[in-house]
A = this chain, B = another copy of it.
Amino acid sequence: MWDVASDQAIADEDRVLARESCCSAYHRAIELIGKRWTGAIVFVLLDGPLRFSEVKVLVPDLSDRLLSERMKELEAEGIVERRVIDDTPVRVEYLLTAKGEALEPAVRALKRWANAWL
């Protein structure tokens, strides 16, 4: 005699196990980019290098202290590069690395969603 209830339980379990679970790399990506201001900083750098003061113009309400902290984190993650330009006076620019530029499809897709739904 079949045990219908446990057959159903096994079928349910199979249904779930056949699906893709979540996924430490994605989870880490979300937490990295989802951190307050980080996503905004990456967004404004997609169009090219910026100086510190320029990032501040393009990301309103971001304090010097937090921007500096986030830039250091993004450098440590290999997403942003700090470039010193030997000019008079010396200039410092921030730009996305290849790893940072690779975020463009995700950032643009999230922007489209935000514009459509929020």
**Partner-B contacts on A (CB < 8 A):** 12, 15-17, 19-23, 25-31, 33-36, 38-40, 43-44, 47-48, 50-51, 54, 57-60, 99, 102-103, 105-106, 109-118
Q: Pick the residue among B25, B114, B118 that contacts A115 (CB under 8 A).
A: B25
Given contacts A26-B110, A26-B114, contact A19 B33 (CB under 8 A): no
Residues of B near A111 (CB, < 8 A) are 23, 25-26, 29
CA distance A29 to B106 in the complex (A): 12
CA distance A24 to B111 in the complex (A): 10
The residue among A26, A36, A51 with the most chain B CB atoms within 10 A of its own CB is A26
B43 touches A22 (CB 8 A): yes
